[in-house]
Amino acid sequence: MTADKRRYVVAAIRAALVLTGAVVTVAVLYSFSTMSTASPSDNGFVRGLSYLFGSVFFILALGGAGLGLALPSLLGAEDALAFDRWQRRCLQGAGGLFVGGFVIGLVVGLLTELQFGLFLWLVAIVVAVLVVSCVLIWRLFEVFVTALVRLIAAETGE
């Protein structure tokens, strides 16, 4: 596979993961916000169950979007967002949490009970999404500071 083809495939997979994660996240949040209130005669079981499954879909969707952002770092491909070495390491760690959390969760679930493994995997996804979010904020702050320094340099004539 040529380098251009590989870059195109990675970009397509990345776009699909991020777009799907964002759409599902927005859909789950919209369904939560438009969910009707429980009637006084209802014990709230169905509503609680829908919140439980909706929360799992929400976490998985955010995890998919986070994995899409970390994918080039995991594969060692060039990244259009120009992450530096330490940011790429953090993204690789987040990718390790996505994949390793699944493997460890599966092993724990098979050895104990499946819901414990699922819970462990969901916690790993949440931590990985937090790492990806922090790296994105870090990169956005770098871009902001660089633009600010260029603006100040242009105004002072340096």
pLDDT tens digits, 61-105: 988 888 888 888 888 777 777 888 898 889 889 988 988 988 999
SS (H, E, C) 105-116: HHHHHHHCCHHH
Predicted local confidence at residue 47, as pLDDT: 80
Predicted local confidence at residue 33, as pLDDT: 87
Q: pLDDT below 50 — which residues of the chain?
A: none
Predicted local confidence at residue 144, as pLDDT: 93
Of 90, 82, 70, 86, residue with least CA distance to 143: 82
Kindly state the tokens that stand for 80: 């259009």
Q: For residues 92 and 70, is the Cβ–Cβ distance under 8 A?
A: yes
Domain count, the chain: 1
Predicted local confidence at residue 104, as pLDDT: 92
- How far apart (Å, rounded) are the C-alpha atoms in residues 117 and 50? 21
Predicted local confidence at residue 1, as pLDDT: 64
Predicted local confidence at residue 23, as pLDDT: 93
Residue 63 domain boundaries: 3-156
Q: For residues 68 and 21, is the Cβ–Cβ distance under 8 A?
A: yes
Predicted TM-score (pTM) of this structure: 0.77
